[in-house]
Amino acid sequence: MEQKLPLGPYLLIAASFVGLGITAYLSYFQYMNLIPTCAIGGCEIVLTSEHSKFFGVPWSYIGLVYYMYTLGLTVLLAIDPKSFGLRVGALAYTGAGVLYSAWAIFYIQLTVIGALCQYCAMSAVTTVVLFGIAIWHYRSTKGVV
């Protein structure tokens, strides 16, 4: 009987590339000390605020590292989709990303700064998608050895 290849890791890889694209775009603009065009008008306020850096490192750089690590983790998960450690690692890592995104978007941007960066919001949505896929993959391979 032919065994089906789990789809979850490949969806995680695709979503990781989306996140990499968003944060690479923002990182480029931060490196060049420019503000990207923003359809909703809050990017300039958010990206130039005192909250846009963590100990002098732009959050977009940290996001870039987050998505690179996610990509590496999900490539390993594609190689061994039944690995309990990798499945739990993907859940924990993307779950931490969701918690950070909720804090950054809802508390810092909307409450403290009073503006929203559309690229940050797109990254947050990507992180929620990653977490959802990680949950789906974990559940679909639960009990499979």
pLDDT in tens, 43-66: 788 888 888 778 988 888 999 999
For residue 110, the domain's CATH number is: 1.20.1440.130
Q: Which amino acid, 11?
A: L
Tell me the residue range of the domain where 62 lies: 8-140
Residue 31 lies in a domain: yes
pLDDT in tens, 90-125: 999 999 999 999 998 888 888 888 888 888 899 999
Residue 1 lies in a domain: no
Mapped onto helix, strand or coil, the DSSP state of residue 56 is coil
Domain count, the chain: 1
Tell me the C-alpha distance between 5 and 3, whole Å. Answer: 7
pLDDT score of 3:
65
- Specify whether the CB–CB gap between 90 and 138 falls below 8 A: yes
Residue 66 lies in a domain: yes
